[in-house]
Amino acid sequence: MNLKEKIIQLSQEIGISKIGFTTADDFAYLEKSLRAGVEEGRTTGFEHKNIEERINPKLSLASARTIISIAVAYPRRLPQQPQKTGFRRGKITPNSWGLDYHYILQDKLERLARGIEDLTADFEYKGMVDTGALVDTAVARRAGIGFIGKNGLVISKEYGSYMFLGELITNLELEPDSPVDYDCGDCNRCVEACPTSCLLGDSTMDARRCLSFQTQDKGMMELEFRKKIKTVIYGCDICQICCPYNKGIDSPPVVDIDPDLAQPELIPFLELSNGQFKEKFGQIAGSWRGKNILQRNAIIALANAHDRSAIPKLLEIIDKGQNPIHAATAIWALGELVKEPTEEMISFIEGIQTDHPDVIVEQAAFVKLAKGL
């Protein structure tokens, strides 16, 4: 076997679902769209800031010759459902089930790199997983992992779009693979299914309108997005669920998945301290944004689930007022759950003393609606 064939064999032994190879040539064609996204305010702010580094692999590794792209497939359905309890549950999307995929991919990339070091001398590399400089989807497309769909995700016939992506920039001289010869065709299902119309139809998006971003953004969630997240407290999978390439595909778990973490009980979730949250949820990808943002989403999810058993907990959150964003969101949720509030409840909301603008806005909206003004 030549070196490339040995690397492919090694990747299979490590548990990498798909591997591809491409040159370390630049991705200059991306520059226009990347700059437009920033200038038009369509980026999340989570992206690597230096656009030159995003399009030129040699700025990350001066000796770069070949980029090795890897994909690790993950399941779209829970291996088992959580036990039924007296609490309504929220949903965390599949890319955040089990151990944080960054750890999984970094481990596989390091194992791949160590294996390559045993196969060849003078090996130089730099590994990246979505927090790195390069655009993972562009690397994967050029390396033949799959095509970039209208939802902006890499899609393959073997695994659909449920794949984690990473890459090794290397100094190796290896034969590059070709991009795949299939694509979305005339299918427009994801663009039509997106509840916020964030997909632009050309594989780009207004990322700030994506519900996945909305579940990760700080502060109050804008009113137009609150009901659209339904009971999802982290992520959004709508553009994947409706994709024909995902039909009939459900890859096995990469690591153990706890169904109680994938679909947490909402009211108990609101009672977690910082320490309890880190202990229980700290190893999943969705934990990176911290407890407070996900708890805000859980309050919204309780309203969307029409869970009237949450009313005492919402009143408690409002009364304590320890987190103004939680309190303001709880006032909104209370208005969703209680269509005809009592005079006592109206007086309670009216009597809130605060100088926080978000609480003031939701307080005024609740009282106005309750009094039919």
One domain, residues 155 and 219 = no
Q: Looking at residue 373, what is its pLDDT?
A: 66
One domain, residues 203 and 149 = no
Helices 357-370 and 324-337: crossing angle in degrees, nearest 10, is 10
One domain, residues 123 and 13 = yes
Q: Which of 190, 192, 56, 78 is nearest to 126 (CA)?
A: 56
Q: Are the C-beta atoms of 43 and 1 separated by less than 8 Å?
A: no
Q: Looking at residue 106, what is its pLDDT?
A: 97
Q: At residue 164, what are phi and psi to the nearest 5 degrees?
A: -90, 140
One domain, residues 261 and 195 = yes
Q: What is the CATH number of the domain that holds 106?
A: 3.40.109
- Is residue 224 in some structural domain? yes
Q: Which of 137, 170, 203 is the last residue of a domain?
A: 170
- Is residue 232 in some structural domain? yes
- Is residue 183 in some structural domain? no
Q: At residue 126, what are phi and psi to the nearest 5 degrees?
A: -145, 125
Residues for the chain: how many in total? 373
One domain, residues 127 and 10 = yes
One domain, residues 163 and 134 = yes
Q: Which structural domain range is residue 255 located in?
A: 189-370
DSSP letter for each residue of 6-59: HHHHHHHHHT-SEEEEEE----GGGHHHHHHHHHTT-S-S-S-S-HHHHH-GGG
Our count of domains for the chain comes to 2
Across the strands, what pairs with 23? 66
**What is the mean pLDDT for each group of 10 consecutive residues in the chain (373 residues)?**
96 98 96 90 84 96 98 96 96 97 97 97 95 94 98 98 98 98 98 97 94 97 98 98 96 95 98 97 94 98 98 97 97 96 96 97 96 79
One domain, residues 268 and 365 = yes
Q: Which amino acid is at 105?
A: L
- Is residue 87 in some structural domain? no
Residue corresponding to tokens 């663009």: 191
Q: Which of 72, 21, 249 is nearest to 157 (CA)?
A: 249
- Is residue 248 in some structural domain? yes
Q: How far apart (Å, rounded) are the C-alpha atoms in residues 340 and 337?
A: 9
Q: At residue 47, what are phi and psi to the nearest 5 degrees?
A: -75, 160
Q: Please identify which of the residues 100, 130, 217, 307 carries the catalytic annotation.
A: 130
Q: Which of 170, 198, 220 is the last residue of a domain?
A: 170
- Is residue 49 in some structural domain? yes
Q: How far apart (Å, rounded) are the C-alpha atoms in residues 126 and 29?
A: 23
- Is residue 85 in some structural domain? no
One domain, residues 138 and 236 = no
- Is residue 263 in some structural domain? yes
The answer to whether residue 130 is catalytic is yes
One domain, residues 137 and 29 = yes
Neighbours of 97 (CB within 10 A): 26
Q: How far apart (Å, rounded) are the C-alpha atoms in residues 252 and 259?
A: 15
One domain, residues 152 and 214 = no
Q: Looking at residue 44, what is its pLDDT?
A: 82
One domain, residues 166 and 223 = no
Q: Are the C-beta atoms of 219 and 325 separated by less than 8 Å?
A: yes
One domain, residues 23 and 164 = yes
Neighbours of 62 (CB within 10 A): 9
Q: Which of 139, 170, 201 is the last residue of a domain?
A: 170
Q: Which of 135, 127, 168, 176 is nearest to 28 (CA)?
A: 135
